[in-house]
């Protein structure tokens, strides 16, 4: 990685920035030049306008998706962005105002629908309250007359007219009143009470004791008339909402235009955010940032072609971002490395090693030739037909390579959709063959040879861990930490190698066993003598002896690789179960149809469950068992100034 500084005339700023954004060559960092002649150009207001337009377009798209869902096939997510000619950017800019206008209209219509819906809920609530008063022929807010006090309201329990009169009498026998019950339910009684105005205070005291409450929304109209008006308003609001919905639906054909315009404003916002970071003088501006070393010549040619400017390169420091560069085999695994953490400048790029072991272990866990072949072919077709973007393409290639590994391991285990070939042959012929009888090569059966596969799994785990420790050994040598390389890492590698040779010797010859024992013991003695080297006095011995306890951690790590056997066994057993279920309905036409359905559904379920399990557990083996031995991470991923768009991309041949 190199640092870069570009000095150019302000009049060329627009063209130069646009071409730099198209080319994705440099990561721009904030200018830090000091002096009275340097200043920043504040374009925050324009940036905010662009960002608001991006948000408005996004909001409009969500509304459209809710009202008129976009018709897309199951595989549409694999489709790449639409390629456009650079000249089309100008066309997008010319029509951007109109697009934003009808985006605003979509949002306005959606708000109207939401407001109408909220108002209809309020109307429904009011109608529910008025229903209890539908027989009342006076307004709910009717007040007192010159001689009579009027009380319209409800009690919190059910009363008959006689019960309510009795309740009044119990409270105060002197109260004179007339009442009329409008409605009565289990938890509420609505009534109208008339009393002499001279006894109003007495009536209020009685009513308070019985829990009387006036209507929450008294109206000046008769309840029945008010209900009719509210119902009419509700119908009017519903009609308005339907019309607004139809108008939103009419914008469905503009969806692609909205997407592309949103990307246009997103690109503009990114460019103006960069302008905010640049140093300016009266006539020039300065771009500083980082660039991969292999792109320096390309940048110089681009600058010479676009505008007269000065380009300077320098050595990058420890704070420089990291750009991973790998071949076609390892590149799909870069996303897994970055998901954990990009490497720092003190690390090595673990992608090639991770890629090999990821494909290898995934295939061993999934371990079915039929599934692997299906994955490889389907992903190949998707890549050919849909031409996905780089990130999606790498993800698909990752699983395609895993599919190839799965196919090869499936041949080793003799598993082709479980034991489907043997089961189907036996089902229709009445024979009694196994997969071992059908396949012309020797195979390992995870069910019959479980112990052998357990040993093989742990052996692969030992190799995996030793590779991780070998990386640590290399990193220590690179930083001239010879003590860390030979004493802290090298001796532990010898201990593990010795234990591995010892295990082989137990199964073979005593000479091999003794050789392994000697290597392990000698390395352990070396650990005791060196691991306390940073301490004083008796602490050296204690530190050395205590370090041997770490052997339990390594044993635990090795046992983790038993999941290679466990996942492989699970895949095969589930496939065999579905094959057995499929053949339980005989060879009739109906039985054959049921068999086909069970085989398709069952194996799809098996693929979904065990592909996910293999992916997760393979990542765990990389992150926990291997990376913990050498990988620090903590680097900053290289993020070039580029066209960060969701729906469009510039045709690459037009950028060269």
Over residues 580-637, the pLDDT tens digits come to 999 998 889 999 999 999 999 999 999 999 999 999 999 999 999 999 889 888 888 8
The model carries a pTM of 0.80
**By C-alpha distance, which of 174, 139, 126, 617 is closest to 361?**
617
Q: How many CA atoms lie within 13 A of 544 on its CB side?
A: 18
- The whole-number pLDDT of residue 652 equals 55
Q: Are 349 and 343 in contact (CB under 8 A)?
A: yes
State the pLDDT at residue 655: 46
397, HSE (Cβ side, Cα atoms, 13 Å): 20
- The separation between CA 519 and the C-alpha centre of its own chain, rounded to angstroms, equals 48
Lowest mean pLDDT among 104-113, 519-528, 540-549: 540-549
Contact 370, 410 (CB under 8 A): yes
Q: Which band of pLDDT confidence, cut at 50, 70 and 90, is reported for residue 645?
A: confident
Name the residue among 638, 646, 654, 653 with its Cα closest to residue 28: 638
The pLDDT score that the predictor gives to residue 75 is: 63
Tens-digit pLDDT profile for residues 23-49: 889 999 887 777 677 888 888 899 999
Model confidence at 649: pLDDT above 90: no
The answer to which of 31-35, 374-378, 463-467 has the lowest mean pLDDT is: 31-35
In the chain, the percentage of residues whose pLDDT exceeds 70 is: 96
- What stretch of H or E contains 65? helix 44-67
Structure confidence at residue 453 (pLDDT)? 92
Are the beta carbons of 175 and 193 closer than 8 angstroms? no
For residues 338-349, one letter each, b for 16 or more C-beta atoms within 10 angstroms of the residue's C-beta and e for the rest, the string is beebbbeeebeb
Residue 258 near residue 57 (C-beta atoms within 8 A)? yes
d(CA 211, CA 227): 26
Over residues 427-436, mean pLDDT: 88
The pLDDT of residue 76 is 65
Residue 292 has a CB neighbour count (10 Å cut-off) of 19
Task: Give the C-alpha separation, 17 to 273, whole Å.
Answer: 11
Dihedral Cα 563, 566, 567, 571, nearest 10 deg: 170
Which tokens is 573 given?
Answer: 């057993």
pLDDT at 305: 87
Q: Please state, as a whole number, how many other Cβ atoms lie within 10 Å of the Cβ of residue 34.
A: 8
Q: Residue 591: which residues within 8 A CB-CB, separation 6 or more?
A: 585
Terminal CA-CA length for the chain? 22
Collapse the DSSP code of 291 into the 3-class scheme (helix H, G, I; strand E, B; otherwise coil) and give the result: strand
The pLDDT-based confidence of 308 (bands split at 50, 70, 90) is confident
Which residues are within 8 A (CB) of 507 and not within 5 positions of it... i.e. 6 or more apart? none
What is the spatial order of strands in the sheet that 188-196 belongs to?
A: 148-155, 188-196, 178-185
How confident is the model over 492-501, as a mean pLDDT? 91
Whether 405 has a pLDDT exceeding 50, the answer reads yes
Q: Is the pLDDT of residue 410 over 50?
A: yes
CA dist 26 and 20 (Å) reads 7
At residue 532, the pLDDT reads 72
Helix 351-366 with 369-386: angle, nearest 10 deg: 130
Residue 593 burial class via C-beta count within 10 angstroms: exposed 0-12, middle 13-18, buried 19 and up = exposed
Q: Rounded distance, CA 182 to CA 186, Å?
A: 14
The mean of the pLDDT values for the chain is: 89
Cα of 612 vs its chain's centroid, Å? 15
What domains lie within the chain, and their CATH numbers? Answer: 141-214 (3.30.70.2750), 331-430+448-629 (no CATH)
Name the helix (H) or strand (E) containing 288.
strand 284-291
Q: Per-residue pLDDT tens for 328-373?
A: 999 999 999 998 989 988 889 999 999 999 999 999 999 999 999 9
In the structure encoding, which two tokens stand for residue 229, read together?
Answer: 């008006």
Please give the helix or strand (H or E) that residue 189 lies within, else none: strand 188-196
Structure tokens at 23: 């080319």
Query: What sign for the dihedral angle of Cα 580, 582, 585, 588?
Result: negative
Mean predicted confidence (pLDDT) in 52-77 = 85
pLDDT of amino acid 634? 84
């Amino acid at each position: 990685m190199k640092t870069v500084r570009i000095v150019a005339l302000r009049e060329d700023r627009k063209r130069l920035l646009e071409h730099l954004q198209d080319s994705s060559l440099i990561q721009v960092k904030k200018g830090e030049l000091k002096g009275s002649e340097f200043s920043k150009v504040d374009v925050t207001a324009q940036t905010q306008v662009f960002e608001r337009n991006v948000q408005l377009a996004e909001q409009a798209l969500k509304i459209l998706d809710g009202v008129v869902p976009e018709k897309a096939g199951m595989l549409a997510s694999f489709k790449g962005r639409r390629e456009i000619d650079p000249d089309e950017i100008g066309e997008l800019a010319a029509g951007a105002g109109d697009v934003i206008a009808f985006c605003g209209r979509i949002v306005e219509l959606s708000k109207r629908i939401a407001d109408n819906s909220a108002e209809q809920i309020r109307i429904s609530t009011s109608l529910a309250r008025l229903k209890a008063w539908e027989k009342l022929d006076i307004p709910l807010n009717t007040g007192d007359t010159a001689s009579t006090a009027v009380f319209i309201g409800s009690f919190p329990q059910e009363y008959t007219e006689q019960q309510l009169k009795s309740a009044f009498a119990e409270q105060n026998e002197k109260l004179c009143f007339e009442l009329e019950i409008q409605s009565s339910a289990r938890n509420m009684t609505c009534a109208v009470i008339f009393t002499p105005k001279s006894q109003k205070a007495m009536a209020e005291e009685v009513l308070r004791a019985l829990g009387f409450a006036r209507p929450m929304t008294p109206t000046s109209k008769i309840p029945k008339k008010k209900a009719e008006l509210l119902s009419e308003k509700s119908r009017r609001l519903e009609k308005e909402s339907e019309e607004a919905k139809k108008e939103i639906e009419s914008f469905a054909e503009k969806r692609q235009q909205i997407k592309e315009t949103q990307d246009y404003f997103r690109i503009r916002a990114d460019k103006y955010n960069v302008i905010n970071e640049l140093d300016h003088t009266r006539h020039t501006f300065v771009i500083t940032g980082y660039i991969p070393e292999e792109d320096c010549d390309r940048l110089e040619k681009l600058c010479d072609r676009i505008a007269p400017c000065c380009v300077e390169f320098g050595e990058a420091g420890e704070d420089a971002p990291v750009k991973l560069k790998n071949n076609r085999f390892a590149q799909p695994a870069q996303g897994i490395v970055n998901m954990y953490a990009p490497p720092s400048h003190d690390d090595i790029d673990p992608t090639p090693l991770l890629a090999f072991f990821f494909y290898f272990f995934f295939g061993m866990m999934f371990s079915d030739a039929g599934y692997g072949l299906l994955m490889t072919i389907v992903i190949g077709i998707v890549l050919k037909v849909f031409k996905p973007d780089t990130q999606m393409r790498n993800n698909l290639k990752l699983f395609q390579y895993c599919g190839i590994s799965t196919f090869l391991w499936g041949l080793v285990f003799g598993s082709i959709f479980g034991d489907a070939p043997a089961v189907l042959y036996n089902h229709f012929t009445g024979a009694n063959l196994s997969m071992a009888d059908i396949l012309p090569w020797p195979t390992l059966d995870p069910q019959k040879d479980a112990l052998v596969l357990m040993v093989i799994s742990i052996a692969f785990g030992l190799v995996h861990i030793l590779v991780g420790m070998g990386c640590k050994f290399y990193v220590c040598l690179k930083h001239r930490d010879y003590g860390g390389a030979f004493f802290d890492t090298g001796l532990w590698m010898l201990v593990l190698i010795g234990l591995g040779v010892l295990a082989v010797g137990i199964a073979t010859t005593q000479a091999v066993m003794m050789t392994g024992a000697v290597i392990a013991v000698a390395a352990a003695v070396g650990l005791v003598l060196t691991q306390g080297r940073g301490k004083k006095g008796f602490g050296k011995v204690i530190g050395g002896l205590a370090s041997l306890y770490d052997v339990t951690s390594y044993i635990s790590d090795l046992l983790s690789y038993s999941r290679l056997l466990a996942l492989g066994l699970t895949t095969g057993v589930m496939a065999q179960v579905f094959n057995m279920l499929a053949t339980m309905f005989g060879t009739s036409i109906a039985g054959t149809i049921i068999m086909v359905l069970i085989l398709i559904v069952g194996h799809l379920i098996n693929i979904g469950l065990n592909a996910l399990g293999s992916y997760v557990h393979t990542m765990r083996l990389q992150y926990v068992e291997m990376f913990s031995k050498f990988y620090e991470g903590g680097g900053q991923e290289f993020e070039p100034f580029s066209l960060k768009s969701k729906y469009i991309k510039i045709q690459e041949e037009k950028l060269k």
